Amino acid sequence: MHEVKEVSKVEITYEGKTLTYPVIEGSEGERAINMGSLRKDTKLISYDPGFGNTGSCISDVTFIDGEAGILRYRGYPIDDLANNCTFIEVAYLLINGELPTQEELTDFSRILNRKSLIHEDMRNFFRNYPEHAHPMAILSAMAVSLSSFYPELDRPAEEEVNVAAARLLSKLRTLAALSYKQSIGHPHVYPSSKLTYVENFLNMLFYTPVANYEVDPVTVRAMNKLLILHADHEQNCSTSAVRLVGSSGANLYASVAAGICALWGPLHGGANQAVIEMLEQIHREGLTIDQCIARAKDKNDPFRLMGFGHRVYKSYDPRAKIAKKACEDVLETMGIQDELLDIAVQLEERALNDEYFKERNLYPNVDYYTGITLRAMGFPTDMFTVIFAIGRLPGWIAHWLEQRADKDQRIGRPRQVYTGPTKRKILPIDQR
Non-local (6+) Cβ contacts of 387 within 8 A are: 176, 226, 227, 230, 374, 379
Q: Would you say residue 13 lies in a domain?
A: yes
Q: What is the pLDDT of residues 300-359, one digit of tens each?
A: 999 988 888 888 888 888 999 999 999 989 988 888 888 888 898 899 899 888 999 888
Given the residues 232, 317, 367, 382, the one annotated as active site: 367
Give the 3-state secondary structure of residue 121. Answer: helix
Q: Would you say residue 287 lies in a domain?
A: no
Q: Would you say residue 350 lies in a domain?
A: no
Helices (H), ranges, 64-191: 78-84, 87-96, 102-114, 123-127, 135-149, 161-184
Q: Would you say residue 237 lies in a domain?
A: no
| pLDDT of 153 over the 60 cut | no
pTM to 2 decimal places: 0.91
| pLDDT of 152 over the 70 cut | no
Compute how many other C-beta atoms are within 10 angstroms of the C-beta atom of residue 267: 9
Q: In what order do the strands lie in the sheet with 70-73?
A: 62-65, 70-73, 76-77
> Average of pLDDT values for 387-409?
93
Q: What is the CATH number of the domain that holds 37?
A: 2.20.28
Q: Would you say residue 71 lies in a domain?
A: no
What is the rounded distance in angstroms from the CA atom of residue 95 to the CA atom of residue 165?
A: 8
What is the rounded distance in angstroms from the CA atom of residue 233 to the CA atom of residue 228?
A: 11
Which of 89, 73, 78 has its CA nearest to residue 322? 78
Q: Would you say residue 24 lies in a domain?
A: yes
Domain that holds residue 11: 5-47
**Count of residues for the chain?**
432
Q: Would you say residue 195 lies in a domain?
A: no
367 catalytic? Reply is yes
Which of 76, 83, 64, 78 has its CA nearest to residue 310? 64
> Within 13 Å of residue 208, how many CA atoms lie on the same side as its CB?
10
What is the rounded distance in angstroms from the CA atom of residue 172 to the CA atom of residue 166?
A: 10
186 catalytic? Reply is no
- What is the number of structural domains in the chain? 1
Given the residues 310, 317, 382, 399, the one annotated as active site: 310
Q: Would you say residue 10 lies in a domain?
A: yes
Which of 115, 224, 100, 101 has its CA nearest to residue 167? 115
Query: What per-residue confidence (pLDDT) applies to 155?
Result: 60
